[in-house]
Amino acid sequence: MTVEPVSTPHFGLLIVDVEAGGAAQRAGLQVGDILTGADNRPFEAPFDLAFSLETGGSVAQLDVLRGGRAIVCEVDFDHSAMESVVG
């Protein structure tokens, strides 16, 4: 999964690419989703996502905006693939 920071109209990380067969796709994340945070921590930069995953274990409950609606996706990340998250 590749993300970019966004600030309008919501702060978060815009998903710009989802790897076929990867953890993000398996969790149902889609290009265009905005990751707004996890565990009551907001995301403003790709590092925020990587830090949250490294300190919170391999399974994360991500807060997501999709089409203006807030949803939660549970993602089981492979930590060996973390470099692809931060670009």
Instruction: State the amino acid at position 39 in one-letter form.
Output: D
17 occurs within a structural domain = yes
87 occurs within a structural domain = no
Q: What is the pTM of this model?
A: 0.78
Contact 25, 19 (CB under 8 A): yes
| Strand bridging mode 59-66 / 41-42 | unpaired
Question: What integer pLDDT is reported at residue 70 of this predicted model?
Answer: 92
Task: Tell me the residue range of the domain where 48 lies.
Answer: 2-82
**pLDDT single digits (tens) 55-65:** 766 678 899 99
Instruction: State the amino acid at position 81 in one-letter form.
Output: A
Domain count, the chain: 1
DSSP 8-state code for residue 55 = H
The model's confidence at residue 83, banded by pLDDT at 50, 70 and 90, is very low
Contact 1, 19 (CB under 8 A): yes
**pLDDT single digits (tens) 26-82:** 999 999 999 999 877 888 888 888 777 777 666 788 999 999 899 999 888 765 444
Q: State whether the Cα torsion 31-6-53-64 is positive or negative.
A: negative
Question: What integer pLDDT is reported at residue 51 of this predicted model?
Answer: 78
In this structure, what CATH number is given to the domain that contains residue 16?
2.30.42.10
Token reading at 36: 């707004």
11 occurs within a structural domain = yes
Question: What integer pLDDT is reported at residue 8 of this predicted model?
Answer: 64
